[in-house]
Amino acid sequence: MLDVSSLETLNSDHREIARLVYDTVLLLDSKDFSGWLHRCTDDFAYAVRSWSPELRAQITWLEHDRAGIENLVRHLPRHHTEPVLLTRHATVYRIEPDAERSEATAITALTIYQTQDDGGETSLFAVGRYYDRIIRTDDGWRLREREVELDTRSLGIGTQYPL
């Protein structure tokens, strides 16, 4: 049974982890990739996957280590991308720290809207979930792994941005 002090620590961890997840959403929405990666560890791993009923298998759409993600976002200005705004709506469903409270997993429901620069029309881009692995560092909780599991598989012309 947890004593009061432990319970307070646990609640504090939950708040800080939820805040970390929400911060990553805000930073991605504002295309502050440097700020986003600052919330990630040096051995950060990122993937976008989806279950395909057509192939009856899981498909990987994007999989990078930190260097790969840095390369991806660094090259964005050299590529043509659709002039749209991606807005993520996230709700952290579950946070589960390990026994030592040095590491935690988090499951977050994710909805991404797409707003056209020309005219401002908004449509649904994708729904899915973040499956995050988060570790405690000297600088606080940081994201070590993020797996974006998409329900949506028909993504129009797609995107070059991390979700």
Nearer to another protein, 109 or 155 (CB): 155
Cβ at position 3, least distance to another protein in Å? 47
149: left (phi over 0), alpha (psi -120 to 50) or beta: beta
Cβ at position 144, least distance to another protein in Å? 20
Residues engaged in binding another protein (CB under 8 A) = 48, 52-56, 59-63, 67-68, 71, 75, 78-82, 153-160
Nearer to another protein, 111 or 159 (CB): 159
Nearer to another protein, 3 or 54 (CB): 54
The rounded distance, in Å, linking the Cα atoms of 110 and 22 is 11
Query: In a 10 Å sphere around its CB, with 0-12 CB exposed, 13-18 middle and 19+ buried, how is residue 111 labelled?
Result: middle
The rounded distance, in Å, linking the Cα atoms of 87 and 26 is 9
The rounded distance, in Å, linking the Cα atoms of 94 and 154 is 27
Nearer to another protein, 19 or 75 (CB): 75
Cβ at position 123, least distance to another protein in Å? 12
The candidate with the shortest Cα–Cα distance to 36, out of 81, 66, 80, 78, is 66
Cβ at position 40, least distance to another protein in Å? 18
